Each structure stands twice: as structure tokens, then as C-alpha cells.
Amino acid sequence: MPSSTKKIMNIKILILLFVLLSSCATAQNKNSNKTEGELKELVNRMVEAQFNTHDKTILEEIYSDDFMEIIASGTVNNREKAINSYDSSDKSLRDRIKTEASANEFSIRIYDDFAIVITQVNVSIISDQQPPRTSNVRVTVFCRKKKNQWKIYSTQFTRIVSQEERPPIPPPPPPPKKKP
């Protein structure tokens, strides 16, 4: 086979490979976008159930059987304790304190059937005993897909401290005195 024919064949093969790889990447990107949407919806359902509606049944549905959470104080809660802490049955508390929350600033990492979602949750707290206040937390959510359904396996809440609340940075210590 002449060398010019070989070059043309090699170019055709390279073009074919490029087209195949491009179409695979496009398909993967569409799947990734779909999965990101599913994960955002899952986290938004969690935030809605925890803070806005206090809906225990939704939390039971989206939390895995071995779910664990670490709240902003550092306390670790198992599934039962976490779900019960958001229970809406304490009407007297619900009437005195209302919360409204929303998640934003999503950062999502997907690893096949495992995903890490990091988001900021802004919580407005309205109480009949105190002036309204807001609290912002960064939430890391660990998810896993089983039987074609995403579940939340663990969460960690970290309070975001405002600039005004941060303690001042102390000045550096003075340099050591030179010995004579």
C-alpha cells in the first residue's frame, strides 16, 4: 500500500475515533447533568423536610438505614435521633419558632453510585420571644445510589461564621531577644 494511502487511512481512523469519543463524552455529560439534578432535588427535599415542613416521613424515605449526621455543634446523631429531632409533632415548639431554609451554591462530585454534595443552607429563624435572625451553614451530604434510587447516608453541618462574629487575629509574638 502506498504511503499516501496509509496516511489517508490513518487520518480517517483518527477522525472516526474523535467522533466516537466526542459522542461518548456528550452522552456522559447528559447523564452527569441528569444525576446532578437528581442530587440537587434530593438535598432540597431534605432541607425542606428538616427546616420548613418538619416532615418526618420524607426524612424516613430519603435517609439510608444506617444514616448518621453531625450537627454544627459536633454532636453525632444516628438515623432515629436525626429524624426525631425534626419531628413536627411538638406543636407548641412549631408555634413559637418558625424556620425557613433554602439550599444554594451546590458543588457536586459524582463517583459512579456514590456522590458528595456540598451546599450552603440559609436558615431564617422567627421566634415570638426573640427578634428574627438568620443562620448560614455549609452542609456536606454523602449520597449513594442503590436500586436506581439515591439515598442520603450522612450529613455534616458546619456553621458559617460571619465576618463580624470572627475573633480578631492576634498580632504575631515579638521576635526573641538576642543574647549578648
Residue with cell 499516501: 4
CA atoms within 13 A on the CB side of 83: 18
Phi, psi for 77 (deg, rounded to 5): -120, 135
Note the pLDDT tens digit of each residue in 83-110. Answer: 988 765 555 555 667 888 999 999 999 9
**Domains of the chain, start order:** 7-159 (3.10.450.50)
Measured CA to CA, the distance from residue 110 to residue 87 in angstroms comes to 31
Could you tell me the pLDDT band of residue 27, with boundaries at 50, 70 and 90?
Answer: very low
Handedness of CA 20, 26, 28, 30 (dihedral sign): negative
Note the pLDDT tens digit of each residue in 109-134. Answer: 999 999 999 999 998 888 777 888 88
